[in-house]
Amino acid sequence: MKIEKIVLKKIELSMKNPFRTKRGSLTSRPLIIVEARDDTGLTGYGEVTAFPDPFYTYETTSTAWHVLEDFLIPLFAENTLSHPEQVPEILDSIQGHPMAKAGLEGAVWDLYAKQKDRSLASLIGGTRKSVRAGAVLSLSDHIEQDISDLQEEGYERYKLKIIKGKEQEMIEKVRASSPDLPIMIDGNGQYDETDMDHLAALDRYGMLMIEQPFRAGDFHLHQQLQKRMRTPICLDESITSFEDAVQAVELGSCRIINVKISRVGGLTAAKKIHDFCAASGVPVWCGGMVESGISKAHNLALASLSNFSIPGDLSGSARYFESDIVQPPLKVEKGALAVPQYPGIGIDVDKEKLAEVTQQSSVHTLS
């Protein structure tokens, strides 16, 4: 496949309400949009979903921009590319930085699918025409109203962001207003070994899962907790590669895996994790990163694969932002989002809106 130019655009989207977790708060969302252009006028779009501060992983918007410009994009000029699955190998000489790599690879996948005149979902073997949506509830003072609004839209799974020591209070608050709501909590790695009994006691709530209670990479503590609980442990930050997923499953550190394209380095790795988990009988779901419609469209393609059996963090365009950069906006209808069937990621980028929110850009000619 021929790529003529790579264009980077640093954007910032205004949020409807602050998105708060234990680790940070967002009132606007900076992102990097990656464009891969060929000599026929086609453009593929990817997105780097790193946050402005290193509270989720070590990557930030600034470090991703630096790594893309100075290391990753130059490698494209030095290598011949015929298929997006070659991208991880081409970028392998650069250690780490999966979010930067995922944004670049995403643009290549979108361009390749457009060149082949196929939807990205069908190209990777996706079969679902729609995927069930799950919502993320941040730390807010109006959670009951948030839940009511989301139930009206049909969301089928609710993830609660919690603060260590106050999780029971929040669970009971939600259960008091919505006793049968399918909920899970996201620990974001707040807990340590001294919290083992406290976490095991949460079994009584019969939640869908507990996501990432211990720090990233601690497969041992997660294994020990999973042995004590009926509630499935789900790993998020611990899974940064295919090898991490294999280790987690074979050690019994979890019973569910949250797959995020950006966290594992791209769609190629995400699909490989899906395939392994499917063969191992471990269900997966697609995580979100408070991203624009470009990244959401990539997620929808991924979530169309058969083993994504749990509703993911797949909200509509209007969930977080005043306005998105895609047209038409992605919408949750009766608890699901349609998987785009047009070529590539299957949605149009609003170029006027993209230009309006772009704060910095750079063009890199490859040939």
Helix (H) or strand (E) holding 365: strand 358-365
Beta bridge partners of 321: 15
* Contact (CB, 8 A) for 300 and 276: no
Instruction: Report the largest interatomic distance among the alpha carbons of the chain, rounded to a whole angstrom.
Output: 62
Residues catalogued as catalytic: 161, 260
Contacts 24+ apart (CB under 8 A), 88-97: 88/265, 88/266, 88/268, 88/269, 94/67, 96/58, 97/59, 97/63, 97/64, 97/67, 97/72
Write the single-letter amino acid at 207.
M
Rounded to the nearest angstrom, the gap between the alpha carbon of residue 243 and the centroid of all alpha carbons in its chain is 18
The SS3 of residue 41 is coil
* Two tokens, residue 103: 């944004």
